[in-house]
Amino acid sequence: MHTRRHLLLTGMAASLLAACSTMSTSSERPPIVFMHGNGDSAALWQTTIWRFESNGWPRDRLFALDQPLPLARDTDTVAQPGRTSTAESMAFLQAEVDRVLKATGASKVILLGNSRGGNTIRNYVQNGDGAGKVSHVVLGGNPAHGIWAVKGFNEQSEFSGLSSFVQQLNAPKGTNGDEITPGVRWLTLRSDSNDKYAQPDGVWIGTPGKPTNIGYDSPALKGATNVVLPRADHRETSFSPAAFAATWQFLTGSAPATTTATPEARIVLDGRLTGFGLSSTDPASGQFTNNLALSGAQLAVYAVDPATGARLGGAVHRKTVAADGRWGPFTAQPGTPYEFEIAAPGYATTHIYRSPFPRSSNIVNLRPDRILPADSDAKAIVIFTRPRGYFDAERDAMRFDGQSALPGVPPKGSGMSSSKIKLASDTQRAITGEFNGERVTGLTWPATQGHMALLELTY
Q: pLDDT tens digit string along 272-320? A: 999 988 654 444 445 788 999 999 999 999 999 999 999 999 999 999 9
pLDDT of 385 reads 98
Q: Looking at residues 11-15, what average pLDDT do you find?
A: 51
Q: Could you read off the pLDDT of 21-54 as tens digits, one per residue?
A: 555 545 589 999 999 999 999 999 999 999 999 9
Using an 8 Å Cβ cutoff, are 290 and 350 in contact? no
Reduced to 3 states, what is the DSSP secondary structure of residue 322?
Answer: coil
Whether residue 12 is predicted with pLDDT greater than 60 in this model: the reply is no
| pLDDT level of residue 410 (50, 70, 90 thresholds) | very high
Whether the pLDDT of residue 11 is over 70: the answer is no
- Least Cα distance to 72 among 35, 125, 117 occurs for 117
pLDDT higher than threshold 50 for residue 2: no
Is the CB of residue 392 less than 8 Å from the CB of residue 452? Answer: no
Stretch 254-275: mean pLDDT, rounded? 98
Domains of the chain: 7-252 (3.40.50.1820), 267-456 (2.60.40.2190)
Higher pLDDT, 356 or 13: 356
CA dihedral 160, 139, 458, 73 (to 10 degrees): -30
Instruction: Spell out the residues 6+ positions from residue 130 whose beta carbon is closer than 8 angstroms to its own.
Output: 93, 94, 97, 111, 121, 124, 184
pLDDT on residue 434: 98
Question: Taking residues 252-256, what's their average pLDDT?
Answer: 97
Reported pTM: 0.94
Residue 239 has pLDDT above 60, yes or no: yes
pLDDT at 364 over 80: yes
**Which tens digits make up the pLDDT trace of 47-93?**
999 999 999 999 999 999 999 999 999 999 999 999 999 999 999 99
Strand partners, 455: 353, 384
Distance CA 85, CA 69 (A): 10
pLDDT (average), residues 183-193: 98
Looking at residue 1, its pLDDT comes to 41
Give every CB contact of residue 45 below 8 A, 6+ residues apart in sequence: 34, 36, 64, 112, 239, 363
